[in-house]
Amino acid sequence: MSESTIESGLQEKRVFYPSAEFSSQAQVKSLDEYQQLYDRAQADPQTFWAELAEQELHWFQPWHTVLDWQPPFAQWFVGGQTNVSYNCLDRHLTTWRRNKAALIWEGEPGDSRTLTYAQLHREVCQFANALKQLGVGKGDVVGIYMPMIPEAAIAMLACARIGAPHSVVFGGFSAEAVRDRLADGKAKLVVTADGGWRKDAIVPLKTQVDRAIADGAVPTVENVLVVRRTGQDIDMQPGRDHWWHDLQPTVSADCPAEPMDSEDVLFVLYTSGSTGKPKGVVHTTAGYNLYAHMTTKWIFDLQDTDVYWCTADVGWITGHSYIVYGPLSNGATSVMYEGAPRPSNPGCFWDVVEKYGVTIFYTAPTAIRAFIKMGSDLPQARDLSSLRLLGTVGEPINPEAWMWYHTVIGKERCPIVDTWWQTETGGVMITPLPGATPTKPGSATRPLPGILADVVDLDGNSVPDNEGGYLVVRHPWPGMMRTVYGDPDRFRRTYWEHIPPKDGRYLYFAGDGARRDEDGYFWVMGRVDDVINVAGHRLGTMEIESALVSHPAVAEAAVVGRPDEVKGNEIVAFVTLESDQEPTEELAKALKKHVGQEIGAIARPGDIRFSDALPKTRSGKIMRRLLRSIASGQEVSGDTSTLEDRSVLDKLRGGA
């Protein structure tokens, strides 16, 4: 855990109430109604979730035990059988939704495609049959390294259909990062594309896969299924690599969904922690499905006419839960956009809203801050009158950005849901309900029904109102991660032992600092471990340090975050060089590039600072608190008495 203390932040006094019009038509219409749900769930969580599971999902076989809790290992709906792909597709086909748009996709170059539920179902069945033909069966892990095209969602749903856990790797990760993740998951097949569009350039995805699995680096991979997207020439290795467009005409569109046990693994998704390599977060079938379904329904207040758009990438949990599984399980229309605001098209998001009449828009604070910089003219020149609800996710939103979102995008009409959650939680945990909860700019407000969140000290005792502490959850919930893939001990240590268990009481430790105000509203302050949130992406300092140290010129490295106006944080790396190396501009550039190659462009340090030595305690621990102050140009304050060599500090300060 980091040595930084949690500060209580400024008090934000503004409160915004949902309009009577919005509330009267909402799923949850008032704070009273929310409170009743909350109290009912708290009094008897198992009955609460069981009733919803029965009402909201299709089951091939009912469960016999709602929750089996062997701390910290939970099993939900034990004995039951269901299928996530069935819940997202098949069950809508016998209703009017059969011909409703399931996915509306817009490509970066301006091409587009709409798939109705019936069409999506057909393609998923074909894709599932192609996977089977290539030897994938129940329990085999499938890597998915794709651009934001419909086939990414199709591949995920096809895996879910046949019970093959997917492991989606964000298309912005490097070949090395792909290799580590495929190897850890022992993937049997990889789904990829020839390339993807990203900011007017082609990302050579297939070439990266070739590199990742070259020389038997991931011996479990037998086949690579390639979707044509960008059309450039790529190498296809006979026997191993297969074009989707060659297979599609040869496979049947008949593929019944495999009944899956509630606790069968649905997917693994890697995320950065404070130590070592990324963790494979494991989510299972029924609990995850129910949680993604319910949270989508409550938070986005889905109505049949909504056009819902979450701007995340399917490579992150937000894309899993709130582009694919949550919306489709609810029979909603989900917009998928390949592009990103870029110099050639800074207004593209607002064009998409206008073109499709988007009613619900869910994005990240970092994007909102970038929009503010680009100017209000861009959104003001588009017709955004279809919007009725706005959301944010991924990092704390500063009140200024919240107010801009509220006035310029929401025209003071749309509730804003600031949703706090994590890869590990499967779905949103703390959030306003748009028709019920008065909002305060910068607060994620209150926990959802069934979520017993708290702010505690290191002994697990609740701290008084408005005092900083650690964000924890006191009771298991259906969407929680079940384990770290292949490493249950790491799961226990990372999430359940930071706050030592006591008398059978286990607290889920989120790794965030927070305070709760006198209205019970949560204010999440950010990570308290060695994780840096850069533009809503979560990066482990250790991973970046390892990447730096793997460069031959580097002797030692320490990475910290520095506040950044748009990205939230910027990565600053302090580097000591091998004795035969000179600190030059070129070397700094080369090191940034090296990190990009080792992990991906999102992990590239914004600033490399060379120094002769790093500040360490007498026991040899790098004092990051000092480095953080130096990186952000602040006076070094607080206790420096454990610093081993004071002259190091003076030198660093002089250099900064």
* Choice between 223 and 284, CB closer to ligand WT7: 284
| Residues 467-526 close enough to bind ligand WT7 by CB under 6 A | 510-512, 524, 526
Task: For residue 159, give the amino acid letter.
Answer: C
Distance CA 90, CA 98 (A): 9
Residue partners of 38: CB distance under 8 A and separation at least 6: 446, 447, 449
Minimum distance of ligand WT7 from residue 365's CB (angstroms) = 8
Distance CA 411, CA 370 (A): 19
**Per-residue x/- mask for ligand WT7, residues 175 to 204, rule CB under 6 A?**
------------------------------
Task: For residue 68, give the amino acid letter.
Answer: D
Length, in residues, of the chain: 656
**602 binding ligand WT7? (CB under 6 A):** no
* Choice between 207 and 275, CB closer to ligand WT7: 275
Distance CA 197, CA 329 (A): 28
- Classify 241 as helix, strand or coil: strand
* Choice between 308 and 421, CB closer to ligand WT7: 421
Strands (E), 42-121: 65-70, 73-78, 81-82, 101-106, 112-116
Please pick, from the candidates 106, 264, 395, 454, the single residue that binds ligand WT7 as defined by CB under 6 A. 395
- Sole window of 53-61, 90-98, 213-221, 392-400 interacting with ligand WT7 (rule: CB under 6 A): 392-400
Minimum distance of ligand WT7 from residue 321's CB (angstroms) = 8
- Sole window of 84-92, 154-162, 389-397, 474-482 interacting with ligand WT7 (rule: CB under 6 A): 389-397
| Residues 308-347 close enough to bind ligand WT7 by CB under 6 A | 317-318
**420 binding ligand WT7? (CB under 6 A):** yes
Please pick, from the candidates 296, 359, 437, 533, the single residue that binds ligand WT7 as defined by CB under 6 A. 533
Please pick, from the candidates 482, 527, 594, 625, the single residue that binds ligand WT7 as defined by CB under 6 A. 527
Minimum distance of ligand WT7 from residue 595's CB (angstroms) = 19
| Residues 218-257 close enough to bind ligand WT7 by CB under 6 A | none
Minimum distance of ligand WT7 from residue 396's CB (angstroms) = 4
* Choice between 449 and 511, CB closer to ligand WT7: 511
**Per-residue x/- mask for ligand WT7, residues 263 to 302, rule CB under 6 A?**
--------x-------------------------------
Minimum distance of ligand WT7 from residue 295's CB (angstroms) = 11
Number of residues that bind ligand WT7 (CB under 6 A): 22
Minimum distance of ligand WT7 from residue 143's CB (angstroms) = 19
Partners of residue 203 on adjacent β-strands: 196
Please pick, from the candidates 210, 418, 454, 598, the single residue that binds ligand WT7 as defined by CB under 6 A. 418
Minimum distance of ligand WT7 from residue 196's CB (angstroms) = 21
- φ, ψ of residue 41 to 5 degrees: the values are -65, -40
Strands (E), 307-466: 307-310, 333-337, 360-363, 389-393, 416-419, 453-456
Distance set, CA 326 to CA 298, 486, 542, 656 (Å): 11, 27, 33, 47
Report the candidate in 120, 180, 268 with the shortest Cα–Cα distance to residue 540.
180
- Sole window of 340-348, 354-362, 414-422, 433-441 interacting with ligand WT7 (rule: CB under 6 A): 414-422
- Sole window of 173-181, 391-399, 547-555, 580-588 interacting with ligand WT7 (rule: CB under 6 A): 391-399
Report the candidate in 498, 527, 552 with the shortest Cα–Cα distance to residue 628.
527
Number of Cα atoms under 13 Å in the Cβ half of residue 365: 30
* Choice between 48 and 362, CB closer to ligand WT7: 362
* Choice between 364 and 587, CB closer to ligand WT7: 364
Please pick, from the candidates 396, 434, 476, 479, the single residue that binds ligand WT7 as defined by CB under 6 A. 396
Q: Which residue has the tokens 């192609």?
A: 130
Minimum distance of ligand WT7 from residue 242's CB (angstroms) = 32
* Choice between 527 and 604, CB closer to ligand WT7: 527
Distance set, CA 423 to CA 144, 200, 446, 611 (Å): 17, 29, 19, 36
Report the candidate in 286, 294, 289, 293 with the shortest Cα–Cα distance to residue 262.
286
* Choice between 221 and 599, CB closer to ligand WT7: 599
Please pick, from the candidates 393, 560, 622, 656, the single residue that binds ligand WT7 as defined by CB under 6 A. 393
Judge if the upstream peptide bond of residue 396 is cis by omega within 30 degrees of 0.
no
Minimum distance of ligand WT7 from residue 428's CB (angstroms) = 8
- φ, ψ of residue 125 to 5 degrees: the values are -60, -45
- φ, ψ of residue 179 to 5 degrees: the values are -60, -50
**419 binding ligand WT7? (CB under 6 A):** yes
In the DSSP assignment, the letter for residue 504 is: T
Token pair for residue 257?
A: 């969904």
Token pair for residue 403?
A: 């107010």
SS3 content of the chain, % helix, strand, coil (to 5): 35, 25, 40
**443 binding ligand WT7? (CB under 6 A):** no
Minimum distance of ligand WT7 from residue 28's CB (angstroms) = 19
Distance CA 615, CA 644 (A): 7
Gyration radius from the chain CA atoms: 24
End-to-end CA distance of the chain: 26
Minimum distance of ligand WT7 from residue 395's CB (angstroms) = 5
* Choice between 241 and 512, CB closer to ligand WT7: 512
Please pick, from the candidates 218, 302, 360, 444, the single residue that binds ligand WT7 as defined by CB under 6 A. 444
* Choice between 34 and 421, CB closer to ligand WT7: 421
Please pick, from the candidates 423, 494, 569, 629, the single residue that binds ligand WT7 as defined by CB under 6 A. 423
Partners of residue 16 on adjacent β-strands: 439
Distance CA 164, CA 561 (A): 38
For the chain, what is the total number of helices (H) and then of strands (E)? 22, 30
* Choice between 262 and 392, CB closer to ligand WT7: 392
* Choice between 261 and 418, CB closer to ligand WT7: 418
**422 binding ligand WT7? (CB under 6 A):** yes
- Sole window of 144-152, 380-388, 412-420, 553-561 interacting with ligand WT7 (rule: CB under 6 A): 412-420
Distance set, CA 356 to CA 175, 348, 416 (Å): 35, 12, 20
Q: How many CB atoms lie within 10 A of CB 73?
A: 14
Report the candidate in 638, 628, 634 with the shortest Cα–Cα distance to residue 574.
628
Binding site for ligand WT7 (CB under 6 A): 271, 317-318, 393-396, 418-423, 444, 510-512, 524, 526-527, 533, 538
